[in-house]
Chain A
């Protein structure tokens, strides 16, 4: 039938959201129109099956942690994307991303220099074999009242972590508490 009501209206009819007059009109149409009668029957079946579904029980702790994550995302206004899922250009500085054309020439020059240097000096060592990666501090944090510094030996084979107390009258050690010179 050409003057069939839209699907949304049929759904509203089933849910009892239409006025009495509209509901009467749709009901009369459904009685006369086989296609709409079938559509209403399908929707009724979906409603019936949906009512049988039971939401799974969620532990209070699980829900609490989920809600904490949702609240954090709502507070920041965006969904955090794990670094592994970010596109590589998202890791570029914002100034580069805004005007990529300006940076294309210097980037190409640097690439050419790097390729040239590689060809002249031979293959670089793989990171796994390189001594500089044998000992790397990924995160260093000093407790309250202490300062921590990370320094490396000249050959890059060793990492030294120095932790020293901050004098109470100072916010930071006078010489930056460098572990290189004691």
Chain B
């Protein structure tokens, strides 16, 4: 009889401890995601036609538009197909889906000597994940560089790739 009572008290105690543990666990805040080292932005533009003075989609970011205007390209119209923004960590890859089942894989590296600079290792893969282009760019933050992929005599894709320092309070640009 006494043994059964002891057992019952032990069971009650165990349930009490279990409920305490469950309450404590529920009260804990969820684990925070690691803060990104930078944000990578890829703007995908479709370039078509020929013209002396090109027309830009109003959604084209100003920095990329200024950059393309400075290049000696002869396309007539630029339409924004997509604007990707991804938080990234140094030495880790981020992938961006592109038209024609292509993928752009970007691996950023910090420039230890110059904190304003970043190196972006880029791989452009075709639909079969075969590399079309492998390149490394050394650049300042907030500076886009374009990768141009002709698709025909007067048609092409432009990918404007840029690195952005994350805002102090989060991964937004």
The 8 A CB mask of B123-147 against A (1 = contact, 0 = none) is 0101000111111111110010111
- The residues of A that contact B131 with a CB separation of less than 8 Å are 143
- The residues of B that contact A128 with a CB separation of less than 8 Å are 114, 116
- The residues of B that contact A153 with a CB separation of less than 8 Å are 67, 70-72
Q: Are A161 and B72 in contact (CB under 8 A)?
A: no
Min distance, Cβ B34 to any Cβ of chain A, angstroms: 28
Q: Are A158 and B71 in contact (CB under 8 A)?
A: yes
Q: Are A163 and B72 in contact (CB under 8 A)?
A: no
- The residues of A that contact B116 with a CB separation of less than 8 Å are 128
B149 at the interface (CB under 8 A from A): yes
- Tell me which of A163, A179, A180, A182 has the highest count of chain B C-beta atoms within 10 A of its own C-beta: A182
A136 at the interface (CB under 8 A from B): yes
Q: Are A161 and B143 in contact (CB under 8 A)?
A: no
Min distance, Cβ B143 to any Cβ of chain A, angstroms: 5
**With known contacts A153-B70, A158-B145, A182-B73, A140–B135 Cβ distance under 8 A:** yes
- Within residues 145 to 167 of chain B, which ones have a CB less than 8 A from any CB in chain A? 145-150, 154, 156
B75 at the interface (CB under 8 A from A): yes
A163 to B150, CA, bound (A): 7
A41 at the interface (CB under 8 A from B): no
- The residues of B that contact A138 with a CB separation of less than 8 Å are 119, 135-138
A128 to B117, CA, bound (A): 9
A10 to B137, CA, bound (A): 64
A64 to B132, CA, bound (A): 31
- Within residues 132 to 161 of chain A, which ones have a CB less than 8 A from any CB in chain B? 133-144, 146, 148, 151, 153-155, 157-161
Min distance, Cβ B53 to any Cβ of chain A, angstroms: 15
A159 to B120, CA, bound (A): 13
- Within residues 14 to 67 of chain A, which ones have a CB less than 8 A from any CB in chain B? none
B74, B133, B156: the one contacting A181 at CB < 8 Å is: B74
Q: Which residue of A lies closest to B158 (CB)?
A: A160
Q: Are B70 and A158 in contact (CB under 8 A)?
A: yes
- The residues of B that contact A141 with a CB separation of less than 8 Å are 133-135
A161, A163, A182: the one contacting B145 at CB < 8 Å is: A161
Q: Are A159 and B75 in contact (CB under 8 A)?
A: no
**With known contacts A134-B139, A179-B148, A181-B74, A139–B134 Cβ distance under 8 A:** yes
Q: Are B135 and A161 in contact (CB under 8 A)?
A: yes
B70, B71, B149, B154: the one contacting A164 at CB < 8 Å is: B149
- The residues of A that contact B147 with a CB separation of less than 8 Å are 161-163
**With known contacts A138-B137, A163-B149, A143–B67 Cβ distance under 8 A:** no
- The residues of A that contact B135 with a CB separation of less than 8 Å are 137-141, 148, 161
Q: List 13 A-B contacts (CB under 8 A).
A: A135-B139, A138-B138, A141-B133, A141-B135, A153-B67, A153-B70, A157-B70, A158-B67, A158-B71, A159-B137, A161-B133, A163-B124, A163-B132
Given contacts A136-B138, A155-B70, A160-B71, 17 further A-B contacts (CB under 8 A): A135-B140, A136-B139, A139-B134, A141-B134, A141-B135, A146-B133, A153-B67, A153-B70, A158-B145, A161-B148, A162-B147, A162-B150, A163-B147, A163-B149, A164-B149, A180-B72, A181-B74
